[in-house]
Amino acid sequence: MIKKVLWVIFVLGLIYILLPGPSKIKDFAPIPDSTKSNLDGDTWQNPNIVAYFSDFKRQDITQFYRMQLEDKYFFGKFIPPIRLNHPPETAYVYIRDQQESTFLEEYIYPFRESLYVNGYEPAVENKMFKKPSNFVGDHVWYEELPYNSKATLRFYPSNPVSKSFTSGLFGQYFQI
């Protein structure tokens, strides 16, 4: 009986791991009413990265991309992605070198792809560093237009070979 239960768990795990999902950052839609960044470092210089200037706040940006990731998977309707909140100081590790950041969140399905959502909100940064109330730097300026935030996304696709290897180890571990 235990072998049958483990076999079912193994098969479900194998299906979970091998189901297709997003393969590149272009699989994710831009933030509504946003402007795509063409600044150095936000385009071809770094693989699977894209940035948008918008008037959305952190909660709206992260909710939008969490829902985007859920919609990319069949099982996303039943299982939400795991949300990891990273310190903004680590954005240079996960996003790119010299990345401005006031928040950094990761959405992940274990043994699958990761989507990092980095945001920069100057108004939040000004409150953190207690700048004077008459300070005028509460916006990100891009192409002579003010925006409330800049969101930078970095997608780390998983390797199908490593996913298959992981499922093989899982099967050997339970000696199925």
pTM for this prediction: 0.83
Return the number of other C-beta atoms located less than 10 Å from residue 171's C-beta: 16
Q: Each residue of 74-88: pLDDT tens digit? A: 888 888 999 999 999
Per-residue pLDDT at 81: 93
Per-residue pLDDT of the chain (176 residues; tens, 9 = 90+): 899 999 999 998 888 888 888 989 999 999 999 999 999 888 888 889 999 999 999 999 999 999 999 999 888 888 899 999 999 999 999 999 889 999 999 999 988 889 999 999 887 766 665 655 555 567 788 888 889 999 999 999 887 666 555 544 544 444 43
CB neighbour burial string for 131-154, b if at least 16 within 10 angstroms, e if fewer: eeeeeeeebbebeeeebbbbbbbb
∠ CA 73-77-83, nearest 5°, is 80
Residues, the chain: 176
Per-residue pLDDT at 165: 56
- Whether residue 112 contacts residue 2, with contact meaning beta carbons closer than 8 Å, is answered with no
Burial class (CB in 10 A: 0-12, 13-18, 19+), 10: middle
Residue 151: φ, ψ to 5°: -110, 130
33 Cβ neighbours under 8 A, 6+ residues apart: 54, 55
Cα–Cα distance for residue pair 120/89, rounded to 1 Å: 12
Cα–Cα distance for residue pair 88/75, rounded to 1 Å: 30
